[in-house]
Structure 1
Amino acid sequence: MVELPGARVLLVEDEGLVALMIEDMLEELGLKVVASAAHVPKACELASGASFDLALLDVNLAGERVFPVARILRERRIPFLFSTGYGGPSLEEEFRNAPAIGKPFSIEQLEEKLRAILALS
């Protein structure tokens, strides 16, 4: 079984209340949010240099797509999970097979997805 406790997370989410809710879920699962961003430029900066084990990426950040961040993470071989809202943009072709979770999601669904991506890394 993959251990979640202690894993360090980059959280990229532009909705403040949603970010707090997700952070609470992650902490309840034993993970630690070590960095967060609400905009693509800051997320790219963090993705390029911060130290973390995995990332949770909202696909749509204030109308801007998060894919530049995902490309940096892929290059660094850091696993990530896309989160998408109802009626939100779909994943670009290059990421169509990437792990994703639809919002709203439960803590159980989040745990299942995180265990799956960590098992593959």
Structure 2
Amino acid sequence: MKRPSLESSKERFDGLRVFIVEDESLIAMQLEDMLLDLDCEVLGPAMRLKSAQRMMDEGLEADVAILDVNLGGETVFPLAERLRDGQTPIVFATGYGRQGVPEEWHVYPILQKPYTTQQIEEAMRRVVWPVA
């Protein structure tokens, strides 16, 4: 199977609404830049669990969410459960690797920080178009 080029991925990602939940501002800004390079629409970032939950309560509609696992000492899994229940695809980002994510969540891509634009692109493609 031929891997899509960045240009064809950008066309597919054009306007994709990505919810960023990340508590480190520099990482959030870098991720936002990566997503803008892929022609995505960035929602957030939410830097705390309560902020992210409030955004969802206010009707946030995301096509995919990229979630930092640890938000200022709180885990993101209550929010991840809401997203999963609403059938929003999830990508986890963590400095702890796969071992920092409970096994029940291993069905979703888990990116080790620091990550690249290509890794973000591949993870989003995997969850947004899983049979591509």
Q: Which consecutive segments of 4 or more residues in structure 1 shift more than 6 A?
A: none
Give the length in aligned residue pairs: 121
What is the alpha-carbon distance in structure 1 between the residues aligned to residue 43 and residue 74 of structure 2?
Answer: 23
What is the alpha-carbon distance in structure 2 between the residues aligned to residue 89 and residue 40 of structure 1?
Answer: 21
SS of the counterpart of 1:120?
Answer: coil
Note if contact 1:59-1:83 (Cα within 8 Å) is conserved in structure 2: yes
Structure 1 length normalisation: TM-score?
Answer: 0.90
Q: Kindly indicate whether residue 40 of structure 2 is the aligned counterpart of residue 31 of structure 1.
A: yes
Who is 1:41 aligned against?
Answer: 50
- What is the RMSD computed on CA atoms of the aligned residues? 2.0
1:45 Cα offset (Å): 2.2
Gaps of at least 5 residues in structure 2 are none
The higher radius of gyration belongs to 2
What is the alpha-carbon distance in structure 1 between the residues aligned to residue 47 and residue 87 of structure 2?
Answer: 22
The one of 62, 66, 69 equivalent to 1:52 is 62
Structure 2 length normalisation: TM-score?
Answer: 0.83
The one of 9, 13, 21 equivalent to 1:12 is 21
Who is 1:107 aligned against?
Answer: 117
Higher relative contact order (CA 8 A, sep 6+): 1
